[in-house]
């Protein structure tokens, strides 16, 4: 998947930074989700939690024992975490495309989820009114969401 590979050239991995971005319960959910469609769902939920926190809405994942406390931090920190989660997701999708091929049924299911979620996330991101300090992080989040949406749409069209 060329689109995802090109993202990796510009995106630092989340693996070394995961402690800064995810809580222990979230890390455990990622570890448990071994198949790409399941792992994609987890990453999309994690990104969505950061977006929900940015919007000042209650966390939809109410099972604290499974997901931990809702994310917190400044808007800039939440946007940066959102972007890093999407970068890691792109890395995982690319790895599966390289090893199993673009026609892998689980990968295609994952890409369909990415497309669906990114359409929603872009609408939500565009509604935010970032302050001057948050604008660069907001632009990066928008760019990453658009890249994932475009890449997933292109891959599914093949």
Domain of 35 in residue numbering reads as 2-157
Summarised one tens digit per residue, pLDDT across range 91-138 is 999 999 999 988 999 999 999 999 999 999 999 999 999 999 999 999
Buried b (16+ CB within 10 A) or exposed e, 104-137: beebbbbbbbbbebbeebbeebeeeebeeebeeb
Q: In which band, very low, low, confident or very high, does the pLDDT at 20 lie, cut at 50, 70 and 90? A: low
Q: In which band, very low, low, confident or very high, does the pLDDT at 152 lie, cut at 50, 70 and 90? A: very high
Query: How many CB atoms lie under 10 A from the CB of residue 11?
Result: 18
Q: What total number of domains does the chain contain? A: 1
pLDDT above 70 (res 17): no
Query: How many CB atoms lie under 10 A from the CB of residue 22?
Result: 23
Mean pLDDT over 75-99 rounds to 96
Please state, for a pLDDT cut of 70, what percent of the chain lies above it.
Answer: 87
- pTM comes to 0.86
pLDDT at 76: 95
pLDDT at 6: 42
What one-character DSSP code corresponds to residue 69? S
Contact 71, 53 (CB under 8 A): yes
Contact 91, 13 (CB under 8 A): yes
């Amino acid at each position: 998947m060329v689109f995802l590979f090109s993202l990796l050239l510009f995106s630092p991995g989340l693996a070394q930074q995961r402690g800064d971005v995810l809580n222990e319960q979230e890390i455990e959910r990622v570890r448990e989700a071994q198949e790409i469609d399941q792992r994609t769902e987890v990453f999309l939920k994690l990104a969505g939690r950061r977006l929900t926190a940015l919007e000042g809405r209650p966390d939809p994942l109410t099972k604290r024992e499974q997901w931990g406390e809702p994310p917190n931090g400044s808007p800039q920190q939440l946007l940066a975490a959102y972007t890093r989660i999407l970068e890691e997701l792109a890395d995982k999708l690319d790895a599966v495309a390289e090893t199993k091929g673009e026609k892998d049924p689980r990968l295609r299911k994952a890409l369909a989820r990415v497309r669906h979620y990114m359409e929603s996330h872009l609408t939500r991101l565009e509604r935010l009114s970032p302050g001057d300090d948050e604008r660069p992080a907001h632009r990066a989040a928008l760019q990453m969401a658009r890249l994932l949406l475009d890449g997933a749409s292109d891959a599914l069209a093949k």
